[in-house]
Amino acid sequence: MDYQKIIEAVYAEVKSWENKGQIAQYIPELSNVNPRQLGVHVSTLDGYDVGMGDHHTKFSIQSIAKVLSLTLAYRLRGNELWKRVGVEPSGTPFNSLVQLEHDQGIPRNPMINAGAIVICDILVSHFRNPKKELLAFVREVAQNPDIAFNESVAQSELSVGYRNTALINLMKAFGNIDNDIELVLDLYCYMCSLEMTCQELSRAFLFLANDGIDPITQHQVLSLTRSKRVNAIMQTCGFYDEAGEFSFRVGLPGKSGVGGGIVAVHPEHFSIAVWSPRLNKKGNSYRGMKFLEQFTTQTGLSVF
């Protein structure tokens, strides 16, 4: 497969189209990003590594980090995790209070805000310094010691996190939050502020394309069964209430973030990260979705 040729062709095509959508406005710091940027990077299991455009530019990965925090919590707690968070698609906005009330404080899945907050609560319970441990884990899977939180983005999110505060208080009322609310929200906002490039993201997610094993270091990040289940959650829940559309058009497990990033994996083949800051009405990168649809069409590679 000539990934370089395909990426160049798809990149040129998508770049020529109208750049629709809006950058995230509700987090003040994200509204300062240049909306014209577009980057893509592919990492394969056999060591092929290629990118185009702004693939070396760092950006706030936002909800993409939910996959990494889930992986860490899953390693620590195993199947006990699923007593506190479900695995079903939500079908509602990622910060829905109505659904959480209906489900008596048990989030539908770990990819929506409430679910990721529960995961953060688990990490706060387990670690004395959960931010340090989470960052160390991300650096480990990305094989890059320079990955860091963006302090300005984290503080920006904390300053306007009224909806997340409502979610965590509701879950606390139902007995599904064990720790101090401020500690958990602090970890959640710093987690979302993680800055990475497309290259770093595609590298970090390679273990999910390889049965839970880092193909370069041969380290077992997750067991085969747990890796399969994380991929399944990404496939069904990774794109807010547009997960079905992504499966229909792209056909890969993946996760998006309101920073404009998308990462997707093809088990036994590759990991790919795309970044373009303008979002569609569902909160997913407009050009990122278009790029991945064209990419899987041109390569003929999807899980279906």
Residue with tokens 């899977």: 141
75 within domain boundaries: yes
Question: 59 in a domain, yes or no?
Answer: yes
Contact status, residue 196 vs residue 61, Cβ threshold 8 Å: yes
> pLDDT at position 27, please?
87
Is 153 in contact with 193 (CB distance < 8 Å)?
A: yes
Residue 195 inside a domain? The answer is: yes
What is the sign, positive or negative, of the torsion defined by CA atoms of 286, 161, 237, 127? positive
Whether the CB-CB separation of 245 and 285 falls below 8 Å is answered with no
Residue 63 catalytic?
Answer: yes
Query: Could you give the C-alpha distances from 195 to 99, 152, 219, in angstroms and in order?
Result: 30, 11, 24
The per-residue pLDDT string of the chain (304 residues; one tens digit each, 9 = 90 and over) reads: 899 999 999 999 999 999 999 999 888 899 899 999 999 999 999 999 999 999 999 999 999 999 999 999 999 999 999 999 999 998 777 778 998 999 999 999 999 999 999 999 999 999 999 999 999 999 999 999 999 999 999 999 999 999 999 999 999 999 999 999 999 999 999 999 999 999 999 999 999 999 999 999 999 999 999 999 999 999 999 998 899 999 999 999 999 999 999 999 999 999 999 999 999 999 999 999 999 999 999 999 999 8
Catalytic residue among 63, 193, 256, 276: 63
Spatial CB neighbours of 122, under 8 Å, sequence gap ≥ 6:
73, 76, 77, 81, 84
Annotated catalytic, 258? yes
Is 240 one of the catalytic residues? yes
Residues 6+ apart with CB under 8 A from 286: 19, 20, 21, 276, 278, 279, 280
Place of tokens 């650096």: 139
Domain of 57, CATH number, reads 3.40.710.10
Is 188 assigned a catalytic role? Answer: yes
Q: Which residue, among 86, 148, 158, has the nearest Cα to 115 in the 3D structure? A: 86
Residue type at 269 in one-letter notation = H
Which of the residues 188, 230, 256, 290 is marked catalytic? 188
pTM above 0.85, yes or no: yes
Taking only the tens place, the pLDDT of each residue in 203-221 is 999 999 999 999 999 999 9
Q: What is the pLDDT of residue 277?
A: 98
Catalytic residue among 221, 240, 250, 263: 240
Based on the structure, what is the number of domains in the chain? 1
Strands (E), the chain: 39-44, 49-53, 59-60, 148-149, 194-196, 254-256, 261-266, 270-275
Rounded to 5 degrees, φ, ψ at 94 are -65, -15
Radius of gyration (C-alpha) of the chain in whole angstroms:
18
d(CA 94, CA 240): 6
Q: Are 33 and 59 in contact (CB under 8 A)?
A: yes
> What backbone torsions phi and psi does residue 109 show, to the nearest 5 degrees?
-160, 165
Question: Does residue 249 sit within a domain?
Answer: yes
Report yes or no on 304 lying in a domain.
Answer: no
pLDDT at 268: 95
Strand order across the beta sheet in which 148-149 lies: 59-60, 194-196, 148-149
- Amino acid, single-letter form, for residue 278: R
Domain that holds residue 136: 3-299
pLDDT of residue 240: 85
Q: Does a structural domain hold residue 232?
A: yes
From the list 43, 50, 60, 66, the catalytic residue is 66
Is 89 contained in some domain?
Answer: yes
